[in-house]
Amino acid sequence: MKKALPAIFLGLAVVAAAGCSRGFVGGAAVGAGGAGAAYEYSNKKALDALEEDFKAGRIDKNEYMRRKSEIESRSLVY
């Protein structure tokens, strides 16, 4: 029985570690999704501000198109 105890504890440790790693991977995925959403929200705000500047006449069409293209190139959504 004494020889079986280390094997039992090792088995329990492996099972516990496997359970924690799945939780960590899931948590990391949720964190990455949240970071991606925040980044896209930032791009949306930048596009809205750019649109407002163009409509108000603070920038011309060439500047508008250049900056819009720049924002779109770093975005997955736009």
Domain map (residue ranges) of the chain:
44-78
3-state SS, residue 41: helix
Share of the chain above pLDDT 70, in %: 55
Residue 61 has pLDDT above 90, yes or no: yes
Contact between 73 and 48 (Cβ < 8 Å): no
The reply to whether the predicted model has a pTM over 0.75 is no
| Per-residue pLDDT band at 38 (split at 50, 70, 90) | confident
Give the mean pLDDT of the chain. 75
If you ran DSSP here, which 8-state letter would residue 75 be given?
Answer: -
